[in-house]
Structure 1
Amino acid sequence: MIAGLLPAAVTAYDTFTDASGDVLFPEERAVVARAVDKRRREFTTVRDLARTAMAELGVSPVPLLPDRRGAPQWPDGLVGSMTHCDGYRAAALARAADVHAIGIDAEPNEPLPDGVLEAVTLPAERTRITALAAAYPHVAWDRLVFSLKETIFKAWYPRTRYELDFAEADVTPVPEADSSGTFGFALTVAPDGPDTRWLTATRGRWTTGDGILVTALAVPRTALPAQRRG
């Protein structure tokens, strides 16, 4: 599912089953030593996928440790993103010489839990969600908007180290078919925050299938570099 959402410069792998055996480095194993089995399986499988992509890019396998926000720390010269939800795992990588940033996310194609929608969306987004749900009821649009924001944040944060709030991203999903489409977005950050144009100039893509929503954004090197205002 994931590869079809990303440009040719990005190497992506996904799976509906977990990796067999212990494929972690000792440093990674320590990160999830006290985690529940579900967390260990997710953590292990996405790293197995990521190292498969690294091998295709000619990069030797190394530990992929999370930073303080949980974002994977990639080897020099690579950008990437990983995601997992119940029944699905994915990883996408590219050479930094070709791509500025990548964000991917996967979520169940199910409505958000009660009370979450208001916490993660803007009023304008809720208006769009209502209209889209009437036209395309097979897509959980509230969950899709949440996933789109997660994808944007994953692409944005490693390059800027600026932590976005949900209210700072206004996303507009655009269906192109019954089960897929694109999305655009605007970011509103503090006046002295990073320039947003390098990211918002790019449109992302989304798709649904097998009960899963998958969203992706890859920013080519032709985009504007991140700069600070002021």
Structure 2
Amino acid sequence: MIGELVPGSVATEWRLDDSEQVTLFPEETALVARSVEKRRQEFATVRLCARLALGRFGVPAGPLTPGPRGEPRWPAGIAGSMTHCEGYRAAAVARSTDVVSLGIDAEPAEPLPDGVLGVVSLPEERRHLASLEAGDPAVSWEKLLFSAKESVFKTWYPLTGRELDFDEAVVEFTPDDGNGRAGTFDARLLVPGPTVDGAPREHFTGRWLARGGLVITAIVLTR
């Protein structure tokens, strides 16, 4: 599914469960040695996805360990992103000559816990979600907003090395014509954006879909 949201320059791989046997590198095993079994399994499966996607660019398998914010540290010359949630694991990678940064996120299509929407959204976003829900209440718009902001952060952080709060970007969704369960979104940064190829980026644009009990978002900043 994630492949539907990114251009052809991006290689993707995804799994719905952890049924495949995965051999981790020692550096990776150490990271989850004290974790519960569920965490170890999803950690391994998402790295399987990443290694398979990297293999399409001829990148040999190697350990994928996290940086200071938990972000995956990719091989030289690669931009990428990983995500895992209940029922879905995925990775997307591209050559850094084609893509500056990218972010993907998947979430179960369930309501946010009580009180969370007020933390992760701005008043104008809540008004926007109310309008979208009136048009198609079957989409989990609150969770889609959360996912989009996760993708914004995953795209932002490798370019800046600093945090981006939920209230530092405002997201607007546009459903595709004739298909209300997929579309595009625009994230307008409310803080100075990163400079990419000599120009500041004040907007990140992405794609989304809602399918199979999931909401999935992706942003790809191309050169």
TM-score bucket of the superposed structures, by smaller chain? over 0.9
Partner of 1:140: 140
Q: Aligned-residue CA RMSD in angstroms?
A: 1.5
* Letter aligned with residue 63 of structure 2: P
The structure-2 alpha-carbon separation of the partners of 1:201 and 1:187, relative to structure 1 and needing over 3 Å to count, comes to: closer
Question: C-alpha separation between the residues in 1 aligned to 2:170 and 2:51?
Answer: 33
Match among 185, 188, 191 for residue 190 of structure 2: 188
* Letter aligned with residue 140 of structure 2: A
* TM-fit CA distance, 1:62: 1.0
Matched, 1:161 2:161: yes
* Letter aligned with residue 152 of structure 1: V
* Letter aligned with residue 186 of structure 1: R
Partner of 1:21: 21
Partner of 1:112: 112
In the superposition, the TM-score normalised over structure 2's length comes to 0.94
Alignment of 1:48-197 (within 5 A): 48-176=48-176, 177-189=179-191, 194-195=194-195
* Letter aligned with residue 206 of structure 2: G
Matched, 1:46 2:39: no
Q: Is the 8 A contact 1:184 1:202 kept in 2?
A: yes
Partner of 1:208: 210
Q: Is the 8 A contact 1:199 1:219 kept in 2?
A: no
Give unpaired runs (5+ residues) of structure 2: none
Give unpaired runs (5+ residues) of structure 1: 222-230
* TM-fit CA distance, 1:21: 2.2
- SS in structure 2 of the partner of residue 91 of structure 1: strand
Question: C-alpha separation between the residues in 2 aligned to 1:198 and 1:99?
Answer: 16
* Letter aligned with residue 91 of structure 1: A
Partner of 1:224: none
* TM-fit CA distance, 1:201: 4.5
* TM-fit CA distance, 1:89: 0.5
Q: Which has the higher strand share?
A: 2
* TM-fit CA distance, 1:23: 1.8
* TM-fit CA distance, 1:22: 3.5
The structure-2 alpha-carbon separation of the partners of 1:201 and 1:167, relative to structure 1 and needing over 3 Å to count, comes to: closer
Count the aligned residue pairs.
219
* Letter aligned with residue 109 of structure 2: N
* TM-fit CA distance, 1:202: 4.6
* TM-fit CA distance, 1:18: 1.3
Question: C-alpha separation between the residues in 2 aligned to 1:19 and 1:32?
Answer: 18
Question: C-alpha separation between the residues in 2 aligned to 1:31 and 1:198?
Answer: 36
* Letter aligned with residue 60 of structure 2: S
* Letter aligned with residue 14 of structure 1: W
Question: C-alpha separation between the residues in 1 aligned to 2:13 and 2:30?
Answer: 25
* TM-fit CA distance, 1:159: 1.5
The structure-2 alpha-carbon separation of the partners of 1:200 and 1:207, relative to structure 1 and needing over 3 Å to count, comes to: farther
In the superposition, the TM-score normalised over structure 1's length comes to 0.91
Question: C-alpha separation between the residues in 2 aligned to 1:219 and 1:200?
Answer: 12
**1:91-119 alpha-carbon deviations (Å, 9 max, x no partner):** 00000011001100000111100010000
Q: Is the 8 A contact 1:156 1:199 kept in 2?
A: no
The structure-2 alpha-carbon separation of the partners of 1:75 and 1:146, relative to structure 1 and needing over 3 Å to count, comes to: same
Question: C-alpha separation between the residues in 1 aligned to 2:151 and 2:19?
Answer: 24
